[in-house]
Structure 1
Amino acid sequence: MKKIDLSKQEIEVVQEVLDHWQEQGLLEQSKVRELRENIDERGFEWKALARYAFWVALASLIFSVVSLFSDDTLVKFVERFYETPNLVFCIFFGALAAMFYVLGFRNKKKFPEKTFSNETLMLAGSFATAACIGFLGQVVDRNTNHFTILFLLSIIIYGVLSVKLQSKLIWVFTLVALGVWFATETAYHSDWGFRFWGMNYPLRFTIFGILLTVFALWGQPRISVLQPFQSTSYVVGLLYTMLALWCLSIFGNYSDFAAWTGVRQYEIFYWGLLGVILSLSLALYGMKVKDSVSRDIGFVFFLLNLYTRFVEYLWDNMNRTVFFLILAVSFWFVGRWSEKIWKKKSAY
């Protein structure tokens, strides 16, 4: 009989479950022994190594691009291409993106188990697509500031590719491009100011995130081709909402830095209170319906909002030693509380 490979932590969990079932009389001792003999400890986490290796590869690729523009020798080399028409770069990056997508789709079909290598090719294709659209903007939109059409084009391209290639990673790029388009479109209609219909960026993106979350929950399930990406849209929508609301709790609905510096934090306390209530409600809802996404995001932003308020109101009004002592004790209580919840769940 083929044995199942588990990590050391997973084996410990299974052993606890088997012991519990044996104590409750649900399994006989001989059956428990038989099940234990069918478990092998995994020697090395190759899957984790693959994940981290691809992450490091992508990070190195980004750093290499950044280094390209900080190294004098390379800058001089790049300067030779300044006279090259933008259309050439546009075609080059378009062809490069097509190559990455074809390779990614072919590998995904032949080797579906190679998740990380396939997604890395899709990610490289997404970056090349962004570069292609950027140079296309230089070609067709030289004398105007209305770049939002290009971002709208990128949304369409990423959206079609994510559906055709069934890639959740490209769908994330679609939603990011949607956020960029929303920011630039509203900025364009407000003459590139920071306020649109009386709303600054954090307030705008709070509403944008809520609308995206609502669409993920009620609109997306009704569109068959977008159903596989519902969970991704839900996570991104919640992150848009909670991040924007957290920024709103700090800066309020102000778009002028000078005006904001003259405002005391208690004058925009209601935004912080809204952030605390919404994040706590999200965490409680997630715990009630066993939705780990809303529970974790709600809990993280609940703590983030509480500690942000703590720093805002006490940093200038308290001795630093006492401040950090209270911070340490509060985190200890959070850890103890989390530990109790974990033990209670493991006891069932």
Structure 2
Amino acid sequence: MKKLDVSRQEKATLDEAIDHWQEQGLLDETTSKRLADSYDVKGFDWRRLAQYAFWIAISCVILAFLSLFADKMVLRWIERLYDTPDVAICVFCLVLAVVFYLFGFRNKRIYPDKTFSSETLMALGVLATAAFIGYLGRIIDKGSGHFSLLFLASVVIYGVLSVKLSSKLIWVFTLISFGIWFATETAYHSNWGFRFWGMNYPLRFTLFGALLTAFSLFWQPRITPLRPFHQISYVVGLTYLMIALWLLSIFGNYSDLDKWSQVRQWHIFYWGLLSLAVSLGLAWYGLKHRDNIAREFGIVFLIINIYTRFFEYLWDNINRAVFFLLLAGSFWYIGRWAERIWTGREAK
């Protein structure tokens, strides 16, 4: 019988569970021994090594591309190719993207367990697609400055590819491109200013993140092709929402740094209260409904918001020694609180 590979911590948990069930009479000694022999501590975490190796490989490809521009010989070669038509480069990038996608999809179909190598090929295809869209924009540009349409095109392309290739990684790039399109589109309609309909970027992205989160929770599960990406949209939507809310609690709805720097933080305290309320709401919802994503986002941003307010209101108003003593005391309290939860679970 093939044994299940588990970590040392997981093995200790399983051992304790089997011993407990045996003491309670739920398992006999023979069954307990068979269960204990069905798993073993795994050795080196090759899965994690594979994940890191592939991500490093992608990073090295990007660094290699960037380093080309630092090499004098390559620069001279690029200068000679300067007259290469944009159409030729655009077609080359398109072909390169198609090749990466085909190899990635083929690798995923033939070797479904080799997730990281497949996603690496998909990521390279995404980069080639971005280059293709960029050069396509140069070809069709008529001087309007409305280049946000290129990001909208990338949203459509990445969205279709993520569904067709069943790639969660490409769906992440879809949502990132969607956020970039939203930022550039609203900037274009506000003459590239910082305000759109009276809202600065943090306030805009607060609404954007809230809508994306609502879509992932209530509408996306009803759309069959997008159902596998529901959790990713939920995480990305909450990321947009909570980071934007945190920035809103610091800068308020100001779009001019000079005006913002002349305003005391307590004048915009209501944005901080909103951010705290949303963090508390997420933590409460996550704990009540066993939603780990909402719970972790709520707790993390609750702590971030509390310490942000701590720095805002006390940094210039109390002695530095007292400030850091209060900071140390607060972290000690959080550590003790976390320790009580941990020891309580261990005891159970």
Q: Decide: shared fold, TM above 0.5.
A: yes
Aligned amino acid, residue 199 of structure 2: M
Q: Distance in 2 between matches of 1:271 and 1:227?
A: 34
Equivalent position SS for 1:40: strand
Q: Distance in 2 between matches of 1:10 and 1:106?
A: 35
Q: Distance in 1 between matches of 2:276 and 2:71?
A: 46
Alignment partner, residue 255 of structure 1: 255
Alignment partner, residue 90 of structure 1: 90
- Farther off after superposition, 19-28 or 250-259: 19-28
Aligned amino acid, residue 173 of structure 1: F
Equivalent position SS for 2:40: strand
Q: Distance in 2 between matches of 1:34 and 1:314?
A: 60
In the alignment, structure 1 residue 32 sits paired with structure 2 residue 32? yes
Flag structure 1 segments of 5+ consecutive residues without an equivalent.
none
What aligned pairs does 1:72-221 form with structure 2 within 5 A after superposition?
72-221=72-221
In the alignment, structure 1 residue 241 sits paired with structure 2 residue 241? yes
Deviations 1:303-336 (A, max 9, x none): 1111111111122223333323322322222222
Q: Distance in 2 between matches of 1:65 and 1:337?
A: 48
What aligned pairs does 1:304-323 form with structure 2 within 5 A after superposition?
304-323=304-323
Q: TM-score normalised to the size of structure 1?
A: 0.95
CA separation of 1:336 and 1:30: change in aligned 2, threshold 3 A: farther
Alignment partner, residue 45 of structure 2: 45
Q: Distance in 1 between matches of 2:163 and 2:226?
A: 7
Q: Distance in 1 between matches of 2:186 and 2:249?
A: 21
Q: Distance in 2 between matches of 1:75 and 1:297?
A: 46
Q: Distance in 2 between matches of 1:224 and 1:37?
A: 41
Q: Distance in 1 between matches of 2:319 and 2:80?
A: 58
CA separation of 1:34 and 1:86: change in aligned 2, threshold 3 A: same
Aligned amino acid, residue 307 of structure 2: Y
Q: Distance in 1 between matches of 2:34 and 2:274?
A: 54
Aligned amino acid, residue 4 of structure 1: L
Q: Distance in 2 between matches of 1:116 and 1:148?
A: 31
Equivalent position SS for 2:316: coil
Q: Distance in 2 between matches of 1:68 and 1:269?
A: 49
CA separation of 1:189 and 1:340: change in aligned 2, threshold 3 A: same
CA separation of 1:195 and 1:87: change in aligned 2, threshold 3 A: same
Q: Distance in 2 between matches of 1:52 and 1:79?
A: 36
Q: Distance in 1 between matches of 2:327 and 2:78?
A: 50
Q: CA RMSD in A?
A: 1.7
- Farther off after superposition, 67-76 or 240-249: 67-76
Q: Distance in 2 between matches of 1:70 and 1:318?
A: 49
Identity of aligned residues (%): 59
CA separation of 1:294 and 1:31: change in aligned 2, threshold 3 A: same
Q: TM-score normalised to the size of structure 2?
A: 0.95
Flag structure 2 segments of 5+ consecutive residues without an equivalent.
none
Alignment partner, residue 66 of structure 1: 66
CA separation of 1:329 and 1:71: change in aligned 2, threshold 3 A: farther
Q: Distance in 1 between matches of 2:113 and 2:68?
A: 34
Q: Distance in 2 between matches of 1:332 and 1:196?
A: 43
Following superposition, the deviation at residue 198 of structure 1 comes to: 0.2
